[in-house]
Structure 1
């Protein structure tokens, strides 16, 4: 069993992992961003292409982006299902040429994707810092659930009790104080 890396060592390992991840993502023929609810993929193409020159197919579990007659730029299975009716693609003009923008609407709006297609390198989803403004867009109950999940995830990573486990521990402590005569030395938590 190996010892936990020191904070400095962990920082270096995280930086190395992030640099490797950034390099892998930069090497992809597309860029992508996500929120907890959806995902946007942009693919730069030559300015000469029009919508009719493109072959874009979006299904519940697969994405293909290609220029007709050429090898696909993206052609792979999605790691999770999407809502096809709420997913779209557009061809937009940019200063550098044109780009295909694909918007995918996640079915499970409570999970981060590690990659757009399963054949692509994964990102470390535990390092994602959701924008707080996005949390503000959620209704109170959903926001509370997401914040609790994020808190529990961080606690688990640090080897500390989740909010539910902490509640049990607090209740037990309270009970112990109210009943000093009882012996809890062999009590099992779980």
Structure 2
């Protein structure tokens, strides 16, 4: 039996959600970091836990018990910028700072069920959060996209037209009546 692409995607999403729900933790990420939330028995304090955060290894356990999560991290992290806390004595929150901040993780540790990183909807960022060069590039892309949607020339074409107009003014002796722009 053939399934439609939409039905297939729905089944894959459901399977992925079920696999993630079975994990003893939940996690979310941005391009910069991964945050892991691990429920623990109420009353758990820092002295009751064994937490190891290394460049490429991760372990969270209640002392004297099997680890809740342990394994090789999917990607390397910045150990000095990664932290953990216990929230309301019932949840361990681990913040892992990514070394490669242009890559989505498909799982926290190697061997854990994976997510489809192609389906991640990144959070909206503000232009003001970007450095000058990146911001200028994004603004240019946004302008060009709006121009294209309206059927108008993009910024590069406008720049060429402007340069051509200046050249025509500087050279009134020349005949530009048959000049054409090539895109």
Provide the TM-score with structure 1 as the length reference: 0.67
Deviation at 1:140, TM superposition (A): 4.8
Aligned-partner SS, 2:10? helix
Deviation at 1:26, TM superposition (A): 0.3
Q: Does 1:38 align with 2:40?
A: no
Which structure has the greater CA radius of gyration? 2
1:139-190 deviation digits (Å, cap 9, x = unpaired): 3544658xx9xxxxxxxxxxxxxxxxxxxxxxxxxxxx97xxxxxxxxxxxx
Question: Within 5 A, what are the aligned runs for 1:145-184?
Answer: none
Q: Who is 1:163 aligned against?
A: none
Aligned partners of 2:58 and 2:76: how far apart in 1?
A: 11
C-alpha distance 48-114 of structure 1, shift in aligned 2 (>3 A) = same
Aligned partners of 2:45 and 2:77: how far apart in 1?
A: 26
Q: Who is 1:168 aligned against?
A: none
Task: Name which of 125, 130, 147 aligns with 2:122.
Answer: 130
Aligned-partner SS, 2:90? strand
Q: Does 1:60 align with 2:55?
A: yes
Aligned partners of 1:135 and 1:15: how far apart in 2?
A: 33
Aligned-partner SS, 2:78? strand
Q: Who is 2:106 aligned against?
A: 114
1:108-142 deviation digits (Å, cap 9, x = unpaired): 00000000001201100000010113676333544
Task: Name which of 68, 73, 90 aligns with 1:98.
Answer: 90
Aligned partners of 2:132 and 2:118: how far apart in 1?
A: 23
Q: Mark the runs of 5 or more structure 1 residues left unpaired by the alignment.
A: 149-176, 179-190
Aligned partners of 1:63 and 1:50: how far apart in 2?
A: 19
Q: Mark the runs of 5 or more structure 2 residues left unpaired by the alignment.
A: 142-180
C-alpha distance 134-89 of structure 1, shift in aligned 2 (>3 A) = farther
Aligned partners of 2:64 and 2:35: how far apart in 1?
A: 25
Aligned-partner SS, 2:125? helix
RMSD value, Cα: 2.3
Deviation at 1:60, TM superposition (A): 0.2
Task: Name which of 3, 14, 20 aligns with 2:9.
Answer: 14
